[in-house]
Amino acid sequence: MHLSIPAPFYTLVNYIPVIATIVTTILSVVLARATLRYAEASDKSLALAREEFEREWFPELHIKLERVSGSEARVIVTNLARTSVLLQLVQFRKLTHAVPFERCFLNEPLVAGTTWSQSVRKMLVEATDDEFEGPIAASVTFYASGRLFRTDWFRFQIAVKKGHIARLDPISMAVRRVHVLERGKDEGNVPPELVRDVADYPASEEEAVLT
């Protein structure tokens, strides 16, 4: 005696693999989207961590020109970052000139969170003559982590009367952070003359920085 199985049952059995395939595809799509979202979140977390690390360890110097008296002035360089640097060059310039008018070559280490200072009254007076009133700017070139950097120009207002510094006040902070000075393809092999040529930029570029 044979049992008769309804035709709809066979149809349902035949559709089971199709339904399973559809369900598997939907689950795969859901899992793939979840994986992509997790990967994007991980990438953003890594980017934020990298940015925070670079912000903490990227070199950053602050320059201050201070009038001690009419016959004395000094430059104060503060290392604001966590990494130590090696000061190489301090430059001064009038904002109306395209190149620095005074340079002081150095080889001074500056540990993180410390300051370095030196008298600059003689250089300022020699550069401005016995009578001058107007803006000047200062920048520092230094080594950090094997690379050569230069700060932006910090601006100051100076007044020199009969060879004495009557006024020396800051105008503004630097408009950009320090940037790497590169020449050639090998960044780690910076020629020594680059320290002396840090002002060899087009005048238009320097003026754009100072405005």
Please write the tens of the pLDDT for every residue from 145-174.
888 999 988 999 999 888 889 999 988 765
Mean pLDDT of 196-208: 38
In terms of pTM, does the model score above 0.85? Answer: no
CB neighbour burial string for 112-144, b if at least 16 within 10 angstroms, e if fewer: eeeebeeebbebbbebbeeebeeebbbbbbbbb
As a whole number, the mean pLDDT across the chain is: 77
- Predicted confidence (pLDDT) at residue 125 exceeds the cutoff of 80: yes
Residue 183 identity (one-letter amino acid): R
Q: Cβ neighbours of residue 160 under 8 Å, at least 6 residues apart? A: 124, 125, 128, 129, 130, 131, 132, 133, 166
Question: Could you tell me if residue 94 is left (phi over 0), alpha (psi between -120 and 50 degrees) or otherwise beta?
Answer: beta
Mean pLDDT of 104-125: 91
- Predicted confidence (pLDDT) at residue 193 exceeds the cutoff of 50: no
Distance between CA atoms of residues 73 and 168, nearest Å: 9
Residue 92 identity (one-letter amino acid): F
The residue among 126 and 67 whose pLDDT is bigger is 67
Question: Could you tell me if residue 162 is left (phi over 0), alpha (psi between -120 and 50 degrees) or otherwise beta?
Answer: left
Length of the chain: 211
Residue 5's φ and ψ, nearest 5 degrees, are -100, 130
pLDDT (tens digit per residue) in 130-148: 788 888 889 999 998 888 9
